[in-house]
Amino acid sequence: MQNKEYDAVVVGAGPNGLAAAITLQQQGLRVLIIEGKDTPGGGLRTAELTLPGFLHDICSAVHPLAPASPFFSQLPLQQYGLEYLQPAIAAAHPFDDGKVAVLQSSVQATAGMLGHDDDAYQRLLCPLVNNWQQLLPELLAPLHLPRHPMMLARFGVKGLTSASWLARKFRTKEARGLWAGMAAHSIQPLSNLATSAIAMVLLGAAHTGGWPFPRGGAIKIAEALTAHFIAMGGHIETGRYITSLKQLPSSHAVMLDVTPQQLLPIAGHRFSSLYRWQLKRYRYGAGVFKIDWALDAPIPFVSPECRQAGTLHLGNTLEEIAYAEKIIWQGRHAQKPFVLLSQPTVFDPTRAPEGKHTAWAYCHVPHGSTRDMTNAIEAQVERFAPGFRERILARHTFNTAQMEDYNPNYIGGDINGGVINLSQLFTRPALRSSPYRTSAKGIYICSSATPPGGGVHGMCGYHAAQKALKDIWNK
């Protein structure tokens, strides 16, 4: 093999770029990461967005799949200071009548609070949870010949349905609301096929490993991954934004942690006309509007369960959530949006001055929307926590344009790097024998625009690197 300056160059130091680089470095290759920002991390960054001493996760914050990831879990990241904290309650879903659906660590404890839906919930979740260790690697992989075909088929029968259809298994508003909140993480209408899969995976993660977050902020995951990569002999350059392959040193493989809209100007001239056509047809989804708050006290939720939860789903009933998510895809904004909220300082006091707190929330908005949703989001919080606004010391907001400016992978504010609907679930970003291999020899895509999609798990980068190792080095 002709000598090159590096064996591989990875563009982008998000969780997938870091996972790709570590996978290649583990094989004794010479690997360079080039990151456009001054620090690695991508969606894993923490900063003082509001006031000095108040640490806020800029993008990703709660990490159900990070400790469970088949790749991350085999790395010695604790040696580099990474510590996950488990909230007393993974997620809580309050209703207007004062009742709360609570996502607890065990299936039985959660089901026991769902009244008439106790058995239905256990029938849905127990098969997934009991086979989680075998199923998760299958679910976080591209299309392949499964090692556990019957398990995967049983999951697929339910997971590939729409969340609205599967919700008919439940009778109580508590179970239906809890289910709707989980499915809304898909950032799609709940009537779309495969939205049930998102809900089932999130519930399975909660019942097997919780919904933890790192002590000190999401940046701690990026710092641990970066430190491990460097300790293995890897090289990283920051503050270099790549817009063309000509900017890269010579290498046998290039791994690009970018989505199709950035991939085309960087390397499109090397691609076949068919592959370029496919990339141009790649579909991005709805965006998010996000608020970070500095608070002088915890959020005054009426429900004690909500005050003990790491994550809150604020949307009331399934019908209200389904309507809000549907109209977003029609280009409209919900007056009562479904709000995802997290209150990390209830469990991690290192993120704020003594006695003070941080919280964040976001709602879904039409792709590319720049409407200010501050009042709508804060009204939803006040709905379940009267007096919340009185505790706000400062706030910082991101609309979709600002989110994309911060992280170019979030096209139109789409934090999943492309809609994860049925047509793009396994074929993202294009229909090919391998979704990670572009049409140009030695050039690979390793971002969340490849299977299994968004989330902090590193599996997109891991699978892309494995394909490159096989193609180029026969490993």
Q: What is the per-residue pLDDT across 342-393, written as a single tens digit (0 to 9) for each?
A: 999 999 999 999 999 999 999 999 999 999 999 999 999 999 999 999 999 9
- With cut-offs at 50, 70 and 90, classify the pLDDT of residue 2: low
- With cut-offs at 50, 70 and 90, classify the pLDDT of residue 3: confident
Work out whether the CA dihedral 93, 164, 425, 107 comes out positive or negative: positive
Instruction: Give the H or E element holding residue 16.
Output: helix 15-25
- With cut-offs at 50, 70 and 90, classify the pLDDT of residue 140: very high
Question: For 155-212, what is each residue's pLDDT tens digit?
Answer: 999 999 999 999 999 999 999 999 999 999 999 999 999 999 999 999 999 999 999 9
Judge whether residue 406 has pLDDT over 80.
yes
Dist CA 144 CA 133 (whole Å): 18
- With cut-offs at 50, 70 and 90, classify the pLDDT of residue 1: low
Dist CA 278 CA 270 (whole Å): 14
Map out the domains of the chain with their CATH numbers: 6-82+214-282+415-473 (3.50.50.60), 85-210+285-406 (3.90.660)
The confidence score (pLDDT) of residue 422 equals: 86
User: pLDDT exceeding 70 applies to what percent of the chain?
Assistant: 100
The residue assigned the tokens 């941080």 is 358
The confidence score (pLDDT) of residue 319 equals: 98
Amino acid at 59: C
Judge whether residue 453 has pLDDT over 90.
yes
The confidence score (pLDDT) of residue 427 equals: 84
**Mean pLDDT over residues 227-246, rounded?**
97
The residue among 264, 234, 261 whose CA lies nearest residue 33 is 234
How far apart, in Å, are the Cα atoms of 170 and each of 165, 167, 184, 316, 447?
Answer: 10, 6, 17, 16, 36
Beta carbons within 10 angstroms of residue 98's beta carbon: 9
Dist CA 475 CA 398 (whole Å): 43
Judge whether residue 400 has pLDDT over 70.
yes
Strand bridging mode 56-57 / 213-214: unpaired
**Mean pLDDT over residues 255-275, rounded?**
97
User: Contact 376/335 with Cβ under 8 angstroms?
Assistant: yes
Instruction: Give the H or E element holding residue 199.
Output: helix 195-208
Judge whether residue 404 has pLDDT over 90.
yes
Question: For 44-67, what is each residue's pLDDT tens digit?
Answer: 999 999 999 999 999 999 999 999
User: Contact 62/211 with Cβ under 8 angstroms?
Assistant: yes
The residue among 233, 65, 249 whose CA lies nearest residue 140 is 65
Tell me how long the chain is.
475
User: pLDDT exceeding 90 applies to what percent of the chain?
Assistant: 96
Beta strands in 58-171 (DSSP E): 84-85, 89-94, 100-103
